Structure 1
């Protein structure tokens, strides 16, 4: 099972600890890649928290969510850049603010893959963990399931009842009725709407496990409805922006909750092209999705290691930036100094070296066409590469 980590703003921590908030989205990394990082300064850098308007500081404290991938979670590759030219170069769709890299990796001194989590309910077992200078990390709260909500630890020990959105997270159909539900340790836990208590139906009673997505367009932006209520005689919707263009989101004055996460409260009547989609989930998909994520990240790590080993044959102590290539082509390692060059590495570990005079797109085009550098050509050169 893949375990992920995501930094959360002080406002979101307060919403969890005071109101039992149970929804998340945004940039995530694998826990295994960052579990040795325990200082606010390191977390500030690896989670790219120095974005414009950030509520974070390198001195902390910094709170993170640690959670396993649930069967209803879906992810986008964090490929793009900070300019339109970056999007053309990388083939990605994310236009965001520095320190976002657009390479699919964190702005850190080692390769840490990054993904963007679409709006999702907290996964059972999610922990809210606080990191402070001079103190051991401590768990502030743990999310049990959609019926139980958060268990708050420490000085304010207690339970915050769930207040789940009907628009995000799993449902189970039992006896012909659809109820909010989570998959917990191989069992389906259902929220009893009459009592608010958790119910565990027998596997034979579960007719379907699914998520309901309400998708729409608002002012030309693709959005997902994540909440709804009545106000002053009209229905209001909370919507989350599903596109990744920070320029458009900010021009339309969406609320920036954190890097890459924009939401708005709008009248339901302002939404167009509304469509209700049932995303059915086989109960075995959780393990399958985790295995796929692990395999993908493992492949990236392996290719980065190959590229580093090849650069080690060319020069000493290279400073390398890593770019995940589009269409599953592999990775590109860029020696970020004058005359450094680039190495493109394919999934079969074949590679292409190009000098610094060749731009990224030209090198990628040749690499895509099958051009490769014979491995015996990678030889030590103390004077650098041209």
Structure 2
């Protein structure tokens, strides 16, 4: 986490997002909440219900993402659970779940993404120091967001995944690009579930 980094370590960490940037054709990965998959596939649009079900639109995607090219070693639900640190408070995920779904899609406009710099909940000085280090390293200031959140949020722009850690971004809500796909990961590996054709999710033959 940022509070345990020296100034030198903070500067080196900040350079990741000065080097690793998004282009419109960069493929991204978002882990889907278990309850969302069927809602996408049945083309649901719903205002949700306070306290029980969030709003939903099958045409939109948002939230934490990583680059597909950084996920080459992720083959099972346990891998994704570690890499994206899906053990946050209240998480619906667990490392031994039989299947985990992701959505893979091209980034589109890079200005729809921000990097969550900052620190876990606690003293604010390390968060501001991390943001300053990112700006000093040349990270696009329009992509920098200072955030305070409970661990396992690191505030470094990287997940707390240990050897599977990834650069992370937060995507603002937007229309899903044509060619996106939903992929299921099981302990035996991945298989595609559905393809987005800009207006509908088309289920794919599991064979």
Measured against the shorter chain, the TM-score band is: 0.5 to 0.7
Residue 15 of structure 1 corresponds to 39
Larger relative contact order, structure 1 or 2 (CA cutoff 8 Å, min sep 6):
2
Distance in 1, matches of 2:153 and 2:41, equals 28
Residue 131 of structure 1 corresponds to 185
Tell me, what secondary structure is at the counterpart of 2:189?
coil
Which 4+ runs in 1 deviate beyond 3 A? none
Residue 105 of structure 1 corresponds to 158
Residue 146 of structure 2 corresponds to 93
Distance in 2, matches of 1:141 and 1:70, equals 20
For residues 207-246 of structure 1, what are the structure 2 equivalents within 5 Å? none
Post-superposition CA distance 1:95-143 (Å, at most 9, x none): 222211110011122552111111111111111001111x231111111
Please state how far the C-alpha of 1:59 moved relative to its aligned partner.
1.2
Unaligned runs of 5+ in 1: 156-386
| 2:95 equivalent to 1:44 | no
TM-score, structure 2 length as denominator?
Answer: 0.67
For residues 43-82 of structure 1, what are the structure 2 equivalents within 5 Å? 43-60=80-97, 61-71=99-109, 74-82=112-120
Q: How many corresponding residue pairs?
A: 152
Please state how far the C-alpha of 1:71 moved relative to its aligned partner.
3.5
| CA contact 1:140–1:153 (8 Å) conserved in 2 | yes
Cα pair distance change 1:71/1:88, threshold 3 Å = closer
| CA contact 1:65–1:129 (8 Å) conserved in 2 | yes
Residue 116 of structure 1 corresponds to 170
Q: Which of the two has higher C-alpha Rg?
A: 1
Normalized per residue, the structure richer in strand is 1
Residue 64 of structure 2 corresponds to 27
| CA contact 2:30–2:104 (8 Å) conserved in 1 | yes
Distance in 1, matches of 2:102 and 2:156, equals 23
Please state how far the C-alpha of 1:94 moved relative to its aligned partner.
1.4
Over the aligned positions, Cα root-mean-square deviation in angstroms equals 1.9
Unaligned runs of 5+ in 2: 1-24, 45-57, 132-144
Residue 205 of structure 1 corresponds to none
| CA contact 2:84–2:165 (8 Å) conserved in 1 | no
